[in-house]
A and B are shown apart, each in its own frame.
Chain A
Amino acid sequence: MIRVRFTTSEFNRETNVWVELPIAELIADGEEVRVSGPRAEWISLDIGVIDPENRERVTRADGAERWARLLPFAFRNGDIDVEVSEVAEAELGGVAFRYSTAA
């Protein structure tokens, strides 16, 4: 199971500190994909990604987990931070809570 966290940051000019803001969390489990979070609609599930290993264009239909692992290559301008991790079912317990209070 692959978890992809999408976040952005906002600079607080009073404290000179960046504040992380959650956008969405995508779970690819086998062939199934779930997206949740305060800005889940920002994440297009129709993006194809070029696999740098073999120049192959990979879409969700080619395998949700493979596609999810490649998603950082679709977000390159720095506006959206993309973190990919492999997770077990038991680790997903806090996911909904994490995003439930986000702006």
Chain B
Amino acid sequence: MKIDAQIAAVRAAQGILGIERSMLSEAFVGPPAPTSSPGVNATKRLALSDGATVFHKPFSGVSVANALAFGQTDETPPLHDAVAWRVAVALGEPWQSLVSPCVLREHDGDDGALSLQASGWPGDLAPTLSPTWCSSAAFFDSLVAQQDRHADNWRWDGSRLTLIDHGYAFARPGDILNHTDLLVARRDHGATALLDAERRALERLLGDAGLLGIESLLLPDRAQALRARAERMLARGEVLRPGEF
């Protein structure tokens, strides 16, 4: 694959946290859940022996037409799921708790992204109603250039927001935007200015030559776009505009 080096770099980086070690080592139990919509990324719902439910998005199962429409490649969506989690880990809290953990792991001979099921339910607009809930997520989506954040791509359990599905992230300038609802909400609340913790996180990211290890996980043009977004956010002291990749 064209992203072999990036996959190897993610594999070398993952496993530092307990949740990652569990997701990498726990056995799969039983068969995948039957699915009636295998055409979109062929994602499988699986059970792990520790009781967790996970979703396996294989590299071989990417919906190519859909990925290309977003400016992704036929390989990048599973990689970007895993890299978004690595960004959250690199930034630390509150972002680490905000993103659903994801590792690269094989299932049934297929390599792919394995994401942990988030608690809560989809479709709830509650996180958009207050800057308290949407700000950290909006910062994250702005930084990773999320292209499709709508209410069914987050989970809300009444007190906690979890961001899921980062296959269509790390966009480049000119790539398509479908939804970025949490970023729009933050801007609508007039809360575009970076918070101190956000500014410090960007300074830490840019202060490291390899972007805290993230640069090696992305294709070069996407890593460069990430660096440029971080620089713009820091220079302006604001989250970016929707679609400003």
Interface residues of A (CB under 8 A from B): 5, 7, 9, 11, 13, 16-18, 20, 39, 41-44, 46-53, 55, 57, 72-84
Contact = CB atoms under 8 A, between A and B. Distances in A.
B181 to A, nearest CB: 9
Contacts of B151: 44, 46-47
6 contacts: A13-B47, A18-B34, A47-B151, A48-B178, A72-B39, A84-B37
B36 interface: yes
Contact of A42 (B30, B55, B70, B122): B122
Nearest to B151: A44
Interface string B140-155: 0000000010111100
A82 B176 CA distance: 24
A50 B29 contact: no
Interface stretch (B19-27, B61-69, B199-207, B216-224): B61-69
Contacts, number: 117
Contact of B69 (A11, A39, A51): A51
Across the A-B interface, give the 6 residue pairs with the lowest CB-CB distance, nearest first. Answer: A78-B43, A78-B55, A52-B65, A83-B36, A9-B33, A42-B123
B228 interface: no
B37 A81 contact: yes
A13 to B, nearest CB: 7
B164 interface: yes
A9 B45 contact: yes
Given A11-B47, A72-B39, A76-B43, A50 B66 contact: yes
A57 B234 CA distance: 31
A77 B55 contact: yes
B53 interface: yes
A79 B45 contact: yes
Contact of A79 (B40, B51, B69, B164): B164
Contacts of B123: 41-44
* Most chain A beta-carbon neighbours within 10 Å: one of B68, B77, B167, B179: B179
A44 B37 contact: no
Nearest to A40: B123
Interface in B101-149: 115, 117, 121-124, 148
A47 B37 contact: no
A76 B176 CA distance: 17
A72 B40 contact: yes
Given A73-B40, A78-B45, A80-B152, A50 B69 contact: yes
A72 B40 CA distance: 7
Contacts of A49: 178
B229 interface: no
